Amino acid sequence: MTAAQDIDESLGPIPPGSSEPAGAASEASPPAQGIASEARPARILVVDDQPANIQILGGILGAQGHEIVPASDGATALKRIAMRPPDLILLDLLMPGMDGYEVCRQIKAEPKWRDIPVIFLSAADDKELIVRALNAGGIDFVTKPFSHAELLSRVRTQLMFKLTRDRLAQIAEDKDELIGILAHDLKNSLGGMNMSAELLRGQVEHYHDAKLLQLAENLMHSSAQALAFVKEYLANAASDQGFVPRLDVVDLVDAASRVIWRYQEGARRKQIQIHTQFAEQGASVFADSSALDQVLDNLVSNALKFSPPGKNIYVSVHLTSGPVKCVVRDEGPGFSEADKAKMFQRYGRLSARPTAGEPSTGLGLSIVRKLVQAMNGQLACESTEGHGATFTFHLPPPCTK
């Protein structure tokens, strides 16, 4: 066992308040009072191939109440981070084997670790090395031999920045949760309003009053637009937070039938026929029922809103020797090559516009793809500009659970 390895085993985490070994840094005088008083005690990973340097840093920072975790090489540092991520990393730049650059790059490549601040330590005062260190993901650079005051000041600053970022992240999470609750409640209210508006419009038609009919149309259109935005906002927020589907056995034919029934009145108003071809014995898939409803709702509503009056929409469900296939085909304007390149991008505005002023947020297809992929499925689109579009998605049958 080398001396560097021995320091890892013998030290373990250096407890807060440990005394500093003799001969520490360039300033032997005590640090100014209150330098780290604003920062709470933190877990700090010190990575250096020189045991004496770890002892020195442990003494300085331990006296401020911080927990010091030593690592004598890059591989050990990565293991320590995986076991329990620290609040801050002090990383020696030039080490044998895996140097500080590579350690930092690997840390920043891992999403769970990339926000951990890294301060590089090096005896080399070379501007090019400093730039390389910062480009590798370091947030600061301290040159050895360092003064107590300088080291503590930089550590305190980065810990305060991290604490602020963590607090802002928590505030953002709380805000998203609150908005989500409000949006869910708003969706229910808007859904009731939109249904009432549709019923009202149907009644107004019998009075043959153009002004009343226009008012009912405006109310129905506005409530539908607001409802569509809220629904797609909620779906997009769920996918951003890492949607985890609740997979269970779902009948795809039943799910498709419910969605089609939902849009029959809208199809009637546009004189559009929705044709179905379903497997008679049903078609079970292993999916999340709510996510599947959202996928079908988006595809059928898009086919309806982008189809001119008098056209046809075809929805079919097919059993195959593998995944179950669902196809939604329309006779709308189709997609240009430019549209195809961005149709699954969030807020991607396409050249085709709804034919009766229906709402379109630009979120639908991006959400559909995320949901299908989350359910272990595949989504594809075939389209020629001017000749409609065909969306096909496959979902696994229950036997693949």
Tens digits of pLDDT across the chain (401 residues): 444 444 444 445 555 544 443 333 444 334 433 433 445 789 999 999 999 999 999 999 999 999 999 999 999 999 999 999 999 999 998 888 899 889 999 999 998 898 999 999 888 777 888 888 888 888 888 888 878 888 899 999 999 998 898 888 888 777 767 776 767 677 778 888 888 888 888 888 888 888 888 888 888 877 877 777 777 667 666 666 666 788 999 999 999 999 999 889 889 989 999 999 998 888 999 999 888 998 998 899 889 988 999 999 999 999 988 999 999 999 988 888 888 877 777 656 666 666 656 655 556 788 888 889 989 999 999 988 888 999 999 999 987 44
In 116-187, beta strands by DSSP E: 118-122, 140-143
Residues 6+ apart with CB under 8 A from 142: 90, 119, 120, 121, 150, 151, 154
The pLDDT assigned to 10 comes to: 44
C-alpha–C-alpha distance, residues 284 and 279, integer Å: 10
Instruction: Return contacts of 215-220, CB within 8 angstroms, 24+ apart.
Output: 220/194
Q: Which residue has the tokens 């505030």?
A: 171
Residue 314 phi, psi dihedral angles, 5° rounding: -120, 125
Residues 6+ apart with CB under 8 A from 36: 64, 65, 152, 155, 156, 159
Residues 6+ apart with CB under 8 A from 340: 381, 383
Pairing of strands 118-122, 324-330: unpaired
